[in-house]
Every structure is written in C-alpha cells, then in structure tokens.
A and B are shown apart, each in its own frame.
Chain A
C-alpha cells in the first residue's frame, strides 16, 4: 500500500479484487484504498465495472478473488440489515424510496426501533430528527411531505439525507447528481463537504467532468474492469482522465458543426397548460438545434411532452409546416414526423424484455409488414444496420435491451425514433447517465441530423452540452420563457441568471 498521510489508516482497502459473472470477467485484480474524509471519484464508461465495484464494497456481491477490508475487518457477503448497520451506505442510481411514505418515514425506514417503542413516539421522533436534518442541510422541505409529491431531484436529496442519517463512515454514491439541476448540485456540494468535515469518506461515480474535478480529492479511472489509474486530483487533467477512460485520444469532445438554418418548420405561439407552463413562443428552423435551458422542474420536460403529443396543450397553437396541428397522442405526432426521446429512458424509452431488433422497429412496425404479417428478414436487416451504424454494443440484434448498458440503451431509443423518419426531434436530457464515448457519438449524430435539415429541440441541464450543441437557447423558469439567447452571445452565468428569474 502506498504511504499517504503518516499514521492514518485507510477506512477501506481492496486487495486484488476480481469478479466474474458466469465466466465473463467484470473486475480484474483491483487495488484501491480510501482514507477518512476522502472524497473519491470513480470514473469510467458504462460497463467499465463501476457499479459492480460499488456493490462489492457494499457487500451485496462477494469477490471471487481478493478481499475487501473495512476498518481492518474483512468484508463478507451479508444481509441488507447487516450492511446497513456496518457503517457503509449506498445511494443507488435508481431511487429506492417508497412513494407513498413521507420523507421522514423514508429516511428512517427499517430503523424505526431507533426512534422509540410506541408508534406515535416513533412518528414524532422521525419527524423531529428529519426536520433537524433538513435544517442542518438547508433544504426547505417539510418532513411530512409524501415522497411521491417530490421532484426527482428532491427525492435524490432525500436519498442522500437517508445515508447521512445512518451515520455511515463510508457512503457510496452511484451517479448521485445525474438528475439534479445546477441549483441542487450546489446544495449537494455543500452536503458532501459537511460530511467530509465530519470524517466521512465518500466514493462516487459521475459522468460530469466539472463534478469529478470539483468535488473529489482523488480520481480513479476504471476501464473494462481494470483500474487504469488512481491519482490525486492535482496530478491529473480532464484530458488525461477522458483519455484513460476511453483508452484513446479524444481530440474534440463536442463535434464541430456549421450553423445553417433553413425555413421555419415548427412555429409555437402562446403555448400553455395551466399549472405547468404558459406563453411559450418560438420558431424552429430546419437544421437548427434549439436548446431549452433552465432548472429541473421548470417545465421544460412538459413543454417537450406537449410538442410530442404526450400532453395536450390547453392554450396557444402549434403550427407544423404552416398547418395548425393538435396531437391527441404520441402516435399522431409520430405520424406527422415528430420524434421524441424522453428523459425517462426506463419508463418511456424502451421495452426492457424486447430484443434490440424489436425495440428498433417498434415505432415504424407498419413499414415492416404486409396485411399485418411481419417481414422479419427486412426487420432484422434494418436492425443490424442501426447496430453497426450507431455502434450499439450488443451480442446481437436478439439481445434483450435490459441487458445493455445505459448508453447503448439510449442508442437503441435513438434508433427507434430515427427509424420512423422524424423531421423534428425533441430530445429530453439525451445524454443523462451515459458514458463519455456514447455521449460523443450522440452529439455527432445530432450534428449529422441537423446537417440533413432536421430540426432538434435539446432539453438539457448540462450547461456545457447546451452551450456547445445549441444554436439558440430558450431559457425557462417556473413555466415561463425568460429569455431566448444566441449561442455566440451568451455564457453559462447568463443562462443561470435567467433560469433562476
């Protein structure tokens, strides 16, 4: 083990940890150590083995070879309750809260006996302790609020609070910020530093460079199950980290794109749904990428849904190729040439048990049939075309989509949408939670589509992405359009100031 601070012992040590799933190696002899109060970023593309490594540390998975040592003790496979009491807690990528329970009840779920004996006593104490926790962390929420009434970002904060309240010495966070907007990320940063000062160690994964470099003390890069490097933040650069992640030089993160907008394709006037958003107005040109900026929960997603037929606008009008249109459902929008990629990939993007092929053709199945009977060879041919063109990493077109990594699932969703030949694409957080390489490929694809004259609406909370990819940026705040900014004339600070207006 390398010597770091004299006399200080690591909280966690991994010695030569290897794991294989049914013969396929996932992790190769990983050595890693974490010191008290250290914030450690674990980076790597999707499928590099980050989640598996975290689950191994947590104790859900036991290593095939090597050992995990926590506070000098070798860690074994244990029950969830034992894990909870062992001083390590984990914040999963998917939220693990119970929607029908309140914030307080969720935070103390499974630990109610700490709160007293009688149910009313427990309820009161949960309420008090949660209120205190929320106050400590400057989160303006009521402990009695039901989780189902919280936004995704607020739910994420509750997850983090739960981990804090468990008084863990080590907190593992699998992409904790993927659904947070800028404002909540600031809050999140404060939370982490509070924990650090209390001596808690944190191991987190993220795909966002600002966070990886902004939050962490040390950065470890994982690629294809190998630990490529583990170094102090000061000793490495963004460029190096990205390079180590992808294993090759990535000369340009965002592809170069010539702005060339043509005729107006989509014209929106005074669009609104009471309670969600109102007075949205813009013209979208052929070949243009129009960004939607703003905080999470500002109504951007709802506007996207209203344009794609998922929500029905109550006010205003949408003109599509100079014709007034009113979509009653997504099917009508698709038939008119509107493509939609949802931010909620799992819930709205694909059918998990369907193969890659069946997902790819789902929106355009009528092009693959005669009298209702499927032409499977044509379908297969098309699917294989998408897989090779979009570099979808899969064992074949018959692989079920649920077994693909996030980035590849997203490519399948893109493939499905492109297969129904849309002229306008509405992309809601198209690169959330996917790896650098897949992100780059999706940006390249967007650039290519706009070159073909397709119009794109890009809804994104990732400011660099929004600024690099969009030609114009529409900023939404609390359901209202607060600014329309030209790419060359604006900067992140200006966007944020309009977003918080």
Chain B
C-alpha cells in the first residue's frame, strides 16, 4: 500500500497523519525518543492495550460496547497465575484455563445482551463489577506470586530479539485484520453494526454473530490478562482498572464509528500507538503523572475532532 492511498483512500488517514506529526514533535523535543530501544519499549508497553482494543473493535463495529474488559483481564490474569505457580504449575494449563474463563465471561455477556435486549452498555457495566469481585474472591484479595519461569517468559522473554508481547501484538493484529476484512464473520459483524434489522431480514444469524463477538472480546481480554500477569510475574486482582477505557479510546481514535457499521483494525492499531507514543513522550519529557492525564485527555479529544474535520475535507 503506498503512502497516498493510506492518507487519502482509507479511513485511517487522519490518525496516521496525527501519529506521524506526534512522533516528529516529540523527537524534536527529546533525542531519546527516536531510538531502537525506545520504540521497542513503546510497542511492548502498548501490547496489552492493543490486544484488548482489537477484541473490542469487533464489538464496537457490531454496534455494541464492552466495559468489562479490564475486569475480565483481572480474572483471567489471576486464574493464569494460580495455574502457573512455580511449584507444580503448568503453563499450558494456565493458558487454557485463563482463556477458557475469558471466553466464558464473554459468552455470558453475549447471552445476556441477546436474550435480555438490555443495552450492552448496562450489561457489561454489570459484568465489570461482577468480574472484579470474582477476581478478588478467587485470589482472596491478594496478589498471586511465585510463578514459574516458563510463564514469566511469556511476558519478559524474547524470540530472536523480539519481545514475546510484541509478537502477540503483531499476531493478533494480523488475525483480527484478516477476520474483519476477509471472512464471512467479519462481513456479518459490520452488517449488523450498519443496520441490525436489515441484516436480520437479509438472513444473517444476528444473535449467533453477536454472541461470538462478545465471546471473542472475553478471549482477547483474557489474553491481555495472561501477558500482564506474566510481565509483572504476579496475578493481580486489581489489574486492568480502567483498561477498557484506554482500549475504547484507541478504537475511537482509530476511526471506528461508535454507532457501529464502520471501522478497521489498522485504525485501532494506529490509535493504540498514538496513545502509547504520547504516554512515552510525556514520560521522556518528565511531565508529572498528574499532568500526563490532563494532556492525554486533551490530545484524545483534539485527535478525534481533527479527524472528523479531515474526513469532511476529503469529501
């Protein structure tokens, strides 16, 4: 894909431009930004948010929302840690159980949304609280530590010099991008977000597709939880507080419509990187953590406003 096509032809043109400008701005302010190590650090830092964001992109494109990401991440992270203890733990078992728990919670979200017709905002808000409680119950409110070496490797190891979380980031991006643009499922998800009634009348199994969308969101949250627990080498019941908002912000910055029916994984990836670059830049510039939040919020709003202006100009 050439540069012109990215800038003009795709929905993600605006955010791509914003990301480049942000990188230019920060690297002009500090020489420590544009280095190989720092760029790897950024990618590594955003990997968990990226994985959550990819999962929730499906949900948002289908016209829904998932606020329970952060809590599902915590439950899965704790479950993974419990099965990956250094004494007698098994990494494969840990992965399987954590992903299974994530899928189960996502599936419950899906069932409730489909059967009750209650807006997904409310359903997943409830799940957010329930799952947080569950994480605290399972771990008795304490961090689960003493995890096995091989589990730790998932968060801190590398393969041919590339950190494992970055491999997961790239892998999930490629899979999600493929599923969204090249498969029947991706087409159905987009159709449902575009006009759910028309999609149903056209013979799309709307309930089944929506159920899968929430289940996938749970599985991706669990994957994020596994990587986070592996990186900090503990299962934290309080992990992932507010992560859902970062993920949703990245999706929206990436140009996915909050009303559904339109969006892309590339946009989400760029949104995640945009947030990551700003966080990293503010760190490098020694901006205080309190001010970072203020600046971050302002920049997110600005980015979305500029993008909508840019999209209008293109017409």
Contact = CB atoms under 8 A, between A and B. Distances in A.
Contacts of B185: 372
Task: Give the interface size class of chain B.
Answer: 20 to 34
B184 interface: yes
Nearest to A366: B184
B191 A354 contact: yes
A362 B209 CA distance: 14
Interface in B176-203: 182-185, 187-188, 190-191, 194-195, 197-203
Interface in A256-313: 310
Contacts of B200: 329-330
B203 A334 contact: yes
B184 A351 contact: no
Contacts of B184: 365-366, 369, 372-374
Contacts of B183: 369, 372-374
B255 to A, nearest CB: 13
A108 interface: no
Contacts of B190: 351, 354
Contact of B187 (A329, A352, A353, A358): A358
Task: Give the interface size class of chain A.
Answer: 20 to 34
Given A334-B203, A358-B187, A348 B182 contact: no
Contacts of A365: 184, 187-188
In the A-B complex, list the 8 residue pairs whose CB atoms are closest, starting with the nearest: A351-B194, A334-B203, A331-B203, A348-B201, A362-B202, A363-B202, A363-B203, A353-B194
11 contacts: A330-B202, A334-B203, A349-B198, A353-B262, A362-B191, A362-B203, A365-B184, A365-B187, A373-B182, A373-B184, A376-B182
Contacts of B198: 347-351
Contact of A347 (B182, B187, B195): B195
Contacts of B204: 331, 362
A310 B262 CA distance: 26
A106 interface: no
Which of B194, B202, B262: most chain A Cβ within 10 A? Answer: B202
A414 interface: no
A463 B222 CA distance: 60
A374 B197 contact: no
Which of A342, A372, A420: most chain B Cβ within 10 A? Answer: A372
A22 interface: yes
A351 B188 CA distance: 11
Contacts of A372: 183-185
A338 to B, nearest CB: 10
Contacts of B195: 347, 350-352
Nearest to A347: B197
A353 B261 contact: yes
Interface of A: 22, 310, 329-331, 333-335, 340, 342, 347-354, 358, 362-363, 365-366, 369, 372-374, 376, 416, 420
B5 interface: no
B117 interface: no
Nearest to A369: B184
B218 to A, nearest CB: 20
A351 B191 contact: yes
Nearest to B196: A351
Contacts of A416: 202
B205 interface: yes
B194 A335 contact: no
Contacts of B4: none
B314 to A, nearest CB: 11
Contacts of A374: 182-184, 187
Interface string B272-315: 00000000000000000000000000000000000000000001
Given A331-B204, A353-B262, 17 more contacts: A330-B202, A335-B203, A348-B197, A348-B201, A351-B194, A351-B195, A352-B195, A362-B187, A362-B203, A362-B204, A365-B184, A365-B187, A366-B184, A372-B183, A372-B185, A373-B183, A420-B203
